């Protein structure tokens, strides 16, 4: 008789267009933060991926290890349980999607649905065990400056232009004293993907916040908006500042460069199946 060992790999059994729509359906919630889970989905996708080390080829989104307590418990990942818990019902609904694919796709959905560019995305990441978690300390420390930011992002394989484009994600969301210790949003529209990180950084006078919390900046005029010390490095460092000025003046250039760098971030260290298709999802509205 005939038999075959061939089975369809799980990643091929998932309708990703359908997952995209269902993630989009989880974004809005008037009781959460500024009314959207989008910003924390973007941060989950970034922290899942930003552990990559190109020298040892360890870390990155492959493995979905950010769900394991050993990695979820890193200080930099405080608060990301809100994103993981919100997405968990979809893992039940689509048991064949890996956590690694689900978390990175959630970042793509959030960027697009909050008004950002289309981000190319591929499925096929496989989940790994707690033993594959990366050591603590691979994500950037917000209290440091340009040298540290470069150390962290060069380790992943990014250049100055890509780093400057990626940090534009700080148009979204806010800092929470209960998570990072820092406080406040970067601008007045934290649930819209814009180039406002750059325009606010350049156009405001930033002064040290007077409080008992960690050192950070607030805008002098309203005191409502914030910058991290690591954000301020993009204004002070002349190489980074070239790109900040470009992206502040040209939102299309920012969107194009962000889409490329973010897609690259989500793929760092991933060994995709050869036949994994690239998706460019249609934004819903
Ligand atoms: Fe970030 N980020 N990030 N960030 N980030 C925080 C929030 C958000 C740094 C520190 C912080 C990127 C780069 C850096 C987002 C996306 C991205 C918070 C506040 C800190 C601290 C967390 C909290 O209290 O809830 C530092 C340092 C860097 C750097 O050195 C460059 C990048 C590259 C991205 C990206 O997505 C590509 C987003 C979105 C948020 C808002 C989260 C939320 O819940 O709202």
Burial (CB count <10 Å: 0-12, 13-18, 19+), residue 112: buried
Q: How far is the CA of 285 from the centre of ligand 1 (A)?
A: 25
| Token pair in block for residue 185 | 């949003």
| CATH number for the domain whose boundaries are 10-138+262-267 | 1.10.520.10
Average confidence score pLDDT of the chain: 97
Where are the domain boundaries for CATH 1.10.520.10 in the chain? 10-138+262-267
Task: Give this complex's ipTM.
Answer: 0.99
- Pocket lining: 48 vs ligand 1, CB cutoff 6 Å: no
| Token pair in block for residue 250 | 């040209």
Site to substitute for ligand 1 among 39, 74, 151, 169, most atoms within 8 A of C-beta: 169
For the CA of 174, the nearest atom of ligand 1: 45
Q: Is a pLDDT exceeding 80 seen at residue 1? A: no
Report the nearest-CA residue for atom 28 of ligand 1. Answer: 140
pLDDT of residue 5: 63
| Token pair in block for residue 97 | 């999607």
Residues recognised as catalytic: 47, 186
Rounded percentage of the chain residues whose pLDDT exceeds 90? 97
pLDDT of residue 136: 98
- Pocket lining: 167 vs ligand 1, CB cutoff 6 Å: yes
pLDDT, tens only, 130-163: 999 999 999 999 999 999 999 999 999 999 999 9
- Pocket lining: 84 vs ligand 1, CB cutoff 6 Å: no
pLDDT of residue 7: 86
pLDDT-derived band at 97, boundaries 50, 70, 90: very high
pLDDT, tens only, 46-72: 999 999 999 999 999 999 999 999 999
The CATH H-level (homologous superfamily) assignment of domain 146-260 is Peroxidase, domain 2 (1.10.420.10)
Where are the domain boundaries for CATH 1.10.420.10 in the chain? 146-260
Sign of the alpha-carbon dihedral angle for 156, 159, 160, 166: negative
For the CA of 83, the nearest atom of ligand 1: 44
| Token pair in block for residue 263 | 């897609």
Q: How far is CA 225 from the centre of its chain?
A: 20
Is residue 174 within 8 A of residue 34, CB to CB? The reply is: yes
- Pocket lining: 173 vs ligand 1, CB cutoff 6 Å: yes
> Tokens 């210790």 sit at which residue?
181
pLDDT, tens only, 197-225: 999 999 999 999 999 999 999 999 999 99
Report the nearest-CA residue for atom 22 of ligand 1. Answer: 175
Q: How far is the CA of 170 from the centre of ligand 1 (A)?
A: 6
For the CA of 144, the nearest atom of ligand 1: 27
pLDDT, tens only, 6-22: 689 999 999 999 999 99
Q: How far is the CA of 43 from the centre of ligand 1 (A)?
A: 6
For the CA of 258, the nearest atom of ligand 1: 37
Q: Give the C-alpha separation, 157 to 55, whole Å.
A: 9
Q: Is a pLDDT exceeding 90 seen at residue 112? A: yes
């Amino acid at each position: 008789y005939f038999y075959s060992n061939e089975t369809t790999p799980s990643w091929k059994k998932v309708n990703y267009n359908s997952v995209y729509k269902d993630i989009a359906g989880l974004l809005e919630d008037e009781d959460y933060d500024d009314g959207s889970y989008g910003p924390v989905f973007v941060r989950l996708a970034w922290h899942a991926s930003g552990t990559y080390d190109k020298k040892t080829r360890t870390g990155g989104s492959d493995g979905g290890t950010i769900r394991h307590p050993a990695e979820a418990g890193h200080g930099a990942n405080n608060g990301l349980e809100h994103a993981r818990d919100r997405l968990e019902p979809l893992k039940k609904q689509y048991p064949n999607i890996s956590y690694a694919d689900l978390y990175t796709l959630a970042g793509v959905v959030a960027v697009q649905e909050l008004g950002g560019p289309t981000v190319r995305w591929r499925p096929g990441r496989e989940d790994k065990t707690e033993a594959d978690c990366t050591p603590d300390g691979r994500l950037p420390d917000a209290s440091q400056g340009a040298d540290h930011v470069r150390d962290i992002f060069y380790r992943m394989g990014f250049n100055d232009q890509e780093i400057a484009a990626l940090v534009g994600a700080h148009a979204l969301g806010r800092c929470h004293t209960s998570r990072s210790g820092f406080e406040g949003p970067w601008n007045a529209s934290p649930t819209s993907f814009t180039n406002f990180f750059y325009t606010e950084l350049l156009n405001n006078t930033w002064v040290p916040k007077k409080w008992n919390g960690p050192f950070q900046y607030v805008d002098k005029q309203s005191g409502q908006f914030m910058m991290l010390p690591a954000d301020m490095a993009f204004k002070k460092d002349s190489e980074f500042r070239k790109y900040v000025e470009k992206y502040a003046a040209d939102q299309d250039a920012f969107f194009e460069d962000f889409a490329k760098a973010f897609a690259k971030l989500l793929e760092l260290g991933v060994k995709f199946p050869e036949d994994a298709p690239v998706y460019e999802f249609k934004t819903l509205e």
